[in-house]
Structure 1
Amino acid sequence: MSNEIKRVTGLLIIEAVNSNPNGNPDQESDPRVRDNGQGEISPVSFKRKLRELMELTEGPVYQTVTKELKDTHDDYSFGILESRGRNRKKISQEMGDIREYNENEFLQSEFVKKYWDARLFGNTFLEDGGHKGYIKTGIVQFGMGLSVSSVIIQRHTNTNKAGVQEGKNQGMAPLAYRVVQHGVYVMPFYINPSLAKKTGCKSYDVELLKRLIPYAYDHTRSAVRPDVRIRHAWWLEHQNALGSCPDYKLIDALMPKRKGDDPMTPSESWADYDVPNKLPQDLINKIANSKDLDLMDAI
């Protein structure tokens, strides 16, 4: 595997069917929606799915995506820093007194070697307690996912066979089941190799992300998110580290278009959209490689 990290422009086309792709805690876990009716999926939400899969080290996804990478990463590992219930004292010990580290020493620290998500996405942990470290912004940035059209939210009451508390709505949770009827979301992402030396990110960290993306929703389903599909996961590698084509041209060329006279009319199915299945030839000529990860053969 090459040690070179290439600049990448990516685009996820995500379909939500009677599901809540990203609940808003400020609105009782309603699906996130803008004032104009467009649905949202936050970058934090998507990255959380990736982290959860990597935390399940005995699971089939982790075992599959790390296959053949385990023997190529020297003494680096694929741990998750932004995990629930993390031991902050232990992490501080792994970091050591980073205020005294120079950049090279920091990149050789146990902290950098252990945490895959910190090397890839960056972290905010190093800002705590006045510590100033070297990993802040990672080489991978996911943008806000926005629905192409407005979305309709359905709210229903959840019930169970017996009430949890006697006399409390007889086992009902009013309006607790909140889902988007149908929506198609687009989420761009970018890989910037310029920051790799500051985060300690290696080419196999990026390769792992590439393998992991197609499983993000299929293997993290929940009661309110039973049917969220990655229809396309475009991975567009540039010809050089600086970039060989403007990001916006690649993204615009692959954007789904709502059929009909009003592009903001809520959709009912995938058939309501015109969705490109490849880049036009003039853009293909400007990049090194174009892959739809969700259509790749199983690893």
Structure 2
Amino acid sequence: MTSLQHKIDFVLTFAVENANPNGDPLNGNRPRTTAEGLGEMSDVAEKRKIRNRLQDAGERIFVQSTDRTDDGEKSLSDRWKAFTKTLSKEDQKDREALSYRACEQWIDVRSFGQVFAFKGKEKEGDASVSIPVRGPFTIQSAFSLEPIAIDDVQITKSVNGETTDTNKKSSDTMGMKHRVSGRAVYVTHGSISPQLAEKTGFTEKDAEKIKEALLTLFENDESSARPAGSMEVVNLAWFTHNSKAGQYSSAKVHRTAKVDEEGVITVDTAHIPGLHYEVLEGR
């Protein structure tokens, strides 16, 4: 299948309402914030959700969440070893062939890239593996338009969790729950490079799958930290250039997307004449 022939840029807006979009484990799992107090969702968290949506759609994923494993493998190393066993002896020894086959096997590898760095078993004579794959898809961390306030809520229980020596009720305290107070709109930007797509085999069809994943980013993502309806994709502005090199720089394209307080995107076309784009509503 033909690899991607047109550079793509995009801008995504989403709303968070009384939810925790991306807890910071170094700060008590409170919603991430910048020094200026803006809410933040990391690019790693965004790609995790994209992977989950692609996996829901039946795509093969290399970096799977432990609770979403669909192939029975317990680690990335196990998944890699199981995969290489399906290859010919020649391909197993050829780094370029391994990279090509990995991109062919897993959509997240040919989209985001991956570093395969696993130790071999010395007693079996297996060599260590270190194969870097640079993917064509990049996305920035998402930041809120305005500084956010955070609610810190103590969680208590009304049942007796443990039997005590005195037969009294055990402690009611369970911990803390943190969430963005009220509603906040976040914005992120990204691009897909045709030059890197050529190296991984990323196709136009893959780009459409990524677009669909972005539009439905928070489907099947509900949890106590993110109740159903508390996370919503508002708009996706999708820019398709007429060449691999692109008609304009990604920075210039991203600046043309104007976002209002509700997360609605309008595009200032005066600075990007001739560039095809569409603004889509989240689903």
Same fold (TM over 0.5): yes
Aligned mate of 1:100, from 93, 98, 116: 93
2:31 paired residue number: 31
Query: Is it true that 1:145 corresponds to 2:142 in the alignment?
Result: yes
Q: CA deviation at 1:90?
A: 4.1
Q: Is the 8 A contact 1:106 1:134 kept in 2?
A: no
CA offsets 1:231-264 (integer angstroms, 9 cap, x no match): 111111112111112222222222435xxxxxxx
**Mapped partners of 2:113, 2:4: distance in 1:** 19
Change (3 A) 1:236 1:153: same
**Identical aligned residues as a percent:** 20
Give yes or no for contact 1:232–1:292 (8 Å, CA) kept in 2: yes
> How big is the shift at 1:286?
3.4
Distance 1:198 1:133 in 2: 14
Q: Cα deviation per residue 1:142-191 (whole Å; 9 max; x = unaligned)?
A: 10111111100001112334143345422x323x2100012211111111
The corresponding residue for 2:220 is 219
Q: Provide the residue aligned with 2:55 in structure 1.
A: 55
Indicate if the aligned counterparts of 2:5 and 2:194 stay in contact, CA closer than 8 A: yes
- Aligned counterparts of 1:90 and 1:250: Cα–Cα separation in 2: 39
Please list the CA deviations of residues 210-231 of structure 1 after superposition, one character each: whole Å capped at 9, or x if unmatched. Answer: 1221111133122111201111
Change in 2 beyond 3 A, CA 1:91/1:140: same
CA contact (8 A) 1:18 1:180 kept: yes
- For 1:30 and 1:139, the matched residues in 2 are separated by 32
Distance 1:186 1:122, change over 3 A: same
SS state at 1:39 partner: strand
2:253 corresponds in structure 1 to 250
Contact 1:107 1:200 in 2 (8 A): no
- Alpha carbons of structure 1 residues 154 and 115: separation in structure 2 relative to 1, 3 Å: same
SS in 2 for 1:88: helix
1:264 equivalent in structure 2: none
Structure 2 residue 164 is matched with structure 1 residue 164: no
Aligned to 1:72: none
Q: Distance between the aligned counterparts of 2:41 and 2:258, measured in 1?
A: 16
The CA deviation at 1:274 is 7.0
Stretches of structure 1 that go unaligned for 5 or more consecutive residues are 57-61, 64-77, 258-272
Q: Aligned pair in 2 of structure 1 residues 53, 86: CA closer, same or farther (>3 Å)?
A: farther
SS in 1 for 2:209: helix
1:17 aligns with 2:5: no
Structure 1 residues 283, 237: CA separation in 2 closer, same or farther (over 3 Å shift)?
farther
- Show the counterpart of 1:69: none
> 2: distance between equivalents of 1:180 and 1:189?
24
- How far has the Cα of 1:280 moved from its partner? 2.3
**In structure 2, how many angstroms separate the alpha carbons of the residues matched to 1:163 and 1:123?**
47
Q: 1:195 to 1:184 in 2, by over 3 A?
A: same
The structure-2 alpha-carbon separation of the partners of 1:293 and 1:248, relative to structure 1 and needing over 3 Å to count, comes to same
Partner of 1:131: 129
Aligned to 1:75: none
RMSD: 2.6
- Equivalent position SS for 1:33: coil
Bigger-Rg structure (1/2): 2
SS in 2 for 1:169: coil
Distance 1:191 1:52 in 2: 19
Partners of 1:53 and 1:277 lie apart in 2 by 23
TM-score between both structures, scaled by the size of structure 2: 0.80
Q: Offset of 1:45 from its aligned partner?
A: 0.7
Larger relative strand fraction: 2
